[in-house]
Structure 1
Amino acid sequence: MPGFWTVITALAVLLLAVFLLLPILNVFAISFFDAKTGDFGVSNYIQVLTRRYYTTALWNTIIIGALGMLGACLIGIPLAFCTSRYRIRGRAVIATFAVLVLCAPPFIGAYAWIMLFGSNGAVTNILKSIGIDMPTIYGIPGIVLVFSLKFFPYIYLMTENALNTINKSYEDAAENLGCTAFQRFMKVTLPLVFPAVSTGAIICFVLSIADFGTPAILGRGVRTLSTIAYSQYTSEMAGTPTMAVTISMLMIAISMAALLLQRRILAKRRYASALTNRPVKQSLTGSKSLLVHGFCYAVVFLAMLPSLTVVYTSFLATSGPVFTGGFGLGSYERVLHNSPTAIANSFMFAFGAVVLIAIVSGLLSFIVVRKDNVVAGSLDLLLMVPYLIPGVVMAIGYVATFRNPPFDITGTALIIILIVFIRRLPYGVRSTTSILRQIKPSIEEAAVNLGASPAKTFTSITVPLMTPGLIIGSLMSFITAINELSSTLILYTSRTITMPVLIYIQVIDGEFGTAAALSTLLLLSTGICVFAVFRMSESKESAFV
């Protein structure tokens, strides 16, 4: 009779095969069939790589991804250097705001920037009144700005952690050899923390090319692969979405190529150093202190500006979609009266997904950490896939996989819960594995030697010990689950609509008041979870990395 962990491992493989690999393989297979003739071949890929409509979107996607990544680096690296090398007053507030920016949905930022710098934005109108005409937020520059200010915390948090642990002797040696501060940073410090910087940069790039809401709201004619994948899917709903899935596979290929390029670069050099003689933070005075503090505060203020704008806008008085001046709670009244289904669905779907994540991540983490075999290693690698697969791609794969009897669950709450579960599962697993690695296996071995079964040992000994990791992983999963847009936008119906989908629809329709009220509710939910993680995690903001 197979043992407890043999059965659990088999079930884990089956679960990931059905809900992760099968949808992706279906998408891959569909991309090789011609929608009109049904012939097998590469005609779809030839069309995507040769037609101007698609190639323009491809180049836009790569340019936006690269510039968004570069912008995040230009903000995140200097901020990390300042907070790791100097005593910054309010450094905890800066880190907290950075995490809040990271957890807020990016399409809310896009909507807020429209309120400020759109054609009829508040700042745009103020500048017009004094005779200054400036470009609006629409187009590639606006999208890149939003991505830079949205994703820089990945760079900041990872780089700061790396800067705090490098050996200061290398920097001292460079200074003694006559290097200027800038030369020392570029030739010594930055190469030492390159693994952390490059990891954050890859995350920024992948998220930028996968994001749907921001280019859809700010694009104004700028097509990206994510937006045309969605438009192609909606236009092909009567038949097989061959072009939509072909575009989706191209997005996956770009993400994988970026990851492989990073690993190839890292493999060429060694970056390890002794964790001794760590840098000591310096106190600043005079103009240098003013400059450094001003830069740090300005970055987090600009990054938080969209969220602050959304909250402020939600309390403005409106008459229908028009702001009338003054303040009021009319937007919240309309939201609670007209949108209770979307609010309830968002919390119910996120909670349902998180329950599944907590259970499965606990079991998967034990297999990955405790079982030294090929299957465990393969499961660990497989859990990287949801990081690289855009939500639009997964959603199309789920429709292709689960739209035929007896597994037809399209249009139901179950399909949304399952896709959110599989996309956010890595958050729970990573959080739980990190704490499980700190638990000595001898504790579990002692329980087994005393006659406890593997199942009893796990539930009575291991689970209580790794509960903090499970809770933090669940909270992180909830933060990202309740803000999910790209996949739910394809899968939702009138009965399963969620807050992010409704916000997107209202922004497109010009209903900014109710969109702001719903966005504020989302931000409040996110903020509560962030606060809970900060209270429970010893490493504070590093828990989010």
Structure 2
Amino acid sequence: MNLSLSRQRLDFWTVVTIAIIVMLSLLLILPILRVLLLGFIDPDTGQFTLGNFIEVFTRNYYVNGLKNTLFVGVLGTIGACLIGVPLAFFTTRFIVKGKALISTLAILVLVSPPFIGAYAWIMILGSNGVVTNFFGNFGLDVPTIYGAHGIILVFSLKFFPFIFLMTQTALNAVNKSLEDAAENLGCSPWQRFYKITLPLVFPAVSTGAIICFVLAIADFGTPAILGRGFRTLSTIALSAYRSELGGPPTMAVTVSILMMAISMLALLAQRRILSKRRYASSLTNLPVPVRLKGWKNALVHVLSHGIVILAMIPSAVVVYTSFLKTNGPVFVGGFGLESYQRIWRDAPEAITNSFLFAITAVVFITIASGLISYVIVRRETRAAASIDFLMMVPYLVPGVVMAIGFVTVFRNGFPDVFSAATLLIMIYFIRRLPYGVRSTTSSLRQIKPSLEEAAVNLGATPLGAFMKVTVPLILPGIIVGSLMSFITAINELSSTLIIYDSGTITMPVQVYVAVLDGEFGIAAALSTILLLSTGVCVYAVFRFTENRDSAFL
């Protein structure tokens, strides 16, 4: 009787749940705990100490890095809000021609490689940029893109789609009678917006803002390329890690812990603010876009399309530059394919590695996301709730932190059995797994459990019911999640820079190195390949999902 009872408890999905917990413990919890532990270890004596954190908070080098990180993170987020919220309001409250095009371009901006924007703006406003040289011909000095202001500009134009898409969805669900009542009471359009509309969509705006802030403080490529001496915590962490090679990376880890703490505090602050107020609104009397006339209509169209066109300029510049004729690293005028010839001749392994590592990681993500989503949605247990919570962690942990954790656990803590390629695939897998799980979970919640139960009652095994009934029904969600995982994995830079070696260089790393070396032709050609790969995946996502905006959030 006891044996029969134990078999019933240890069913197929219980075994899967245990396997998922073991996997997350090894690939997620253990590296993060290792990072946290190393931050309290004295590198010389191996004893517990708070000296690492004391040094971070007292030495100007680290304090300035912290101030710089918060400065560009906060202002970049504010800039994204100042762009995203008005754009969302214009496209939901007024009839704007080409609204679908605006959303599509915003999504392309969102999923394009983050460091490409920084590189492209160098081509425009760098020391030898197109705009800089144009005004220089007239004796006018234009401020270059280097420094904090350039980083803030790139962050604002890169991350505003988070604000725009989330706010747009929320604005479409606002009860119009609330705004009408404010208008009847004599409120001006501006008063109606900030007293009624904005508070109703504040949860969406704040959620998008938190995502922007977390991504901004974790971003490595933009401050590394545009900083020119302006250091942030992400660039300091990588520099500290490289200087500590051969010993425990205590200072790199300590800086990384500080980055994680900032992300966690920002998330907790947002949730605390939301918990104090109620934002619910009945989904009735939804707003209807109105048609503007005259100069107002022209202004709304110019601003709406101008914003996304401005944000797409870096991508257009990259593609254009890749077809310019070059002689080595120098552009010589006219058009040619020399840059592409050079990457096929000098850097073919970067292209091969990028696709190989990303596709391999996505294969595992596809399998794991289906099983994890089923456990989260169908198994109402504490273990399932814990797994659901852990799926949020990779969003909050910067790539530099995860990479340092992987190196200290799997390279320094284990025998030398994990190659750089294996570690890269593992870290791509765990960092991008939430994209697959989130998309698949959304699809699975729409499927009634009775369909699977009927299959089991007819004699199918739990695995058989899952494969033959559930998987075909949630296949679009699985495909969308896999494509999103691929887009983000193939563009991964910060964690790759710590783990890669000469045989595992990827396209993002090659672009980063090429920009630092002044090889803008090679950087443009590789970036164009990345943009093309991303664009193809975005098109595929559009084909497999009806709500294209939500698929990317």
TM-score (norm 2): 0.98
Q: Which amino acid aligns with 2:201?
A: V
| CA shift for structure 1 position 80 | 0.3
Match of 2:198 among 190, 193, 199: 190
| CA shift for structure 1 position 35 | 1.4
**1:288 paired to 2:296:** yes
Pairs aligned (count): 545
Aligned counterpart, 2:531: 523
Q: Which amino acid aligns with 2:533?
A: S
Q: CA distance change for structure 1 residues 405 and 30 in 2, over 3 Å: closer, same or farther?
A: closer
Q: Which runs of 5+ in 1 are unaligned?
A: none
Aligned counterpart, 2:448: 440
2:331 is paired with a residue whose SS is strand
| CA shift for structure 1 position 131 | 2.5
Match of 2:165 among 138, 157, 162: 157
| CA shift for structure 1 position 215 | 0.1
Q: Which amino acid aligns with 2:455?
A: A
Distance 1:517 1:32 in 2: 44
| Per-residue Cα deviation, 1:10-57 (whole angstroms, up to 9, x for no partner) | 000000000000000000001111112322111000000111000000
Matches within 5 A, 1:114-513: 114-404=122-412, 406-513=414-521
Q: Which amino acid aligns with 1:191?
A: P
Distance 1:47 1:252 in 2: 18
Q: Which amino acid aligns with 1:156?
A: F
Distance 2:310 2:362 in 1: 32
Q: Which amino acid aligns with 2:395?
A: Y
- Cα contact 1:399–1:410 (8 A) shared by 2: no
| CA shift for structure 1 position 445 | 1.0
2:494 is paired with a residue whose SS is coil
Aligned counterpart, 2:85: 77
Distance 2:293 2:122 in 1: 39
Aligned counterpart, 2:15: 7
| Per-residue Cα deviation, 1:205-246 (whole angstroms, up to 9, x for no partner) | 000000000000000000100000000000001111000000
Distance 2:382 2:43 in 1: 39
| Per-residue Cα deviation, 1:231-286 (whole angstroms, up to 9, x for no partner) | 00000011110000000000000000000000000000011111010000111221
Aligned counterpart, 1:97: 105
Does 411-420 or 489-498 show the bigger shift? 411-420
Distance 1:174 1:381 in 2: 40
1:466 is paired with a residue whose SS is helix
| CA shift for structure 1 position 448 | 1.4
Distance 1:369 1:120 in 2: 54
- Cα contact 1:411–1:496 (8 A) shared by 2: no
Distance 1:410 1:236 in 2: 21
- Cα contact 1:411–1:493 (8 A) shared by 2: no
Distance 1:422 1:405 in 2: 19
Q: Which amino acid aligns with 2:166?
A: M
**1:56 paired to 2:68:** no
Aligned counterpart, 2:3: none
Q: Which amino acid aligns with 2:192?
A: R
Aligned counterpart, 1:28: 36
Aligned counterpart, 2:4: none
Distance 2:534 2:549 in 1: 14
1:487 is paired with a residue whose SS is helix
Aligned counterpart, 1:544: 552
- Cα contact 1:314–1:332 (8 A) shared by 2: yes
| Per-residue Cα deviation, 1:391-428 (whole angstroms, up to 9, x for no partner) | 00000000000014755355421110010000000000
Distance 1:517 1:5 in 2: 47
Aligned counterpart, 2:55: 47
2:549 is paired with a residue whose SS is helix
Q: CA distance change for structure 1 residues 269 and 409 in 2, over 3 Å: closer, same or farther?
A: farther
Distance 2:413 2:266 in 1: 38
Distance 1:365 1:95 in 2: 28
Aligned counterpart, 2:543: 535
2:325 is paired with a residue whose SS is strand
Distance 1:331 1:59 in 2: 39
Identity of aligned residues (%): 65
Q: CA distance change for structure 1 residues 404 and 240 in 2, over 3 Å: closer, same or farther?
A: closer
Q: Which amino acid aligns with 1:59?
A: K
Q: Which runs of 5+ in 2 are unaligned?
A: 1-6
- Cα contact 1:72–1:155 (8 A) shared by 2: yes
Distance 1:439 1:339 in 2: 46
- Cα contact 1:409–1:415 (8 A) shared by 2: no
Distance 1:542 1:25 in 2: 33
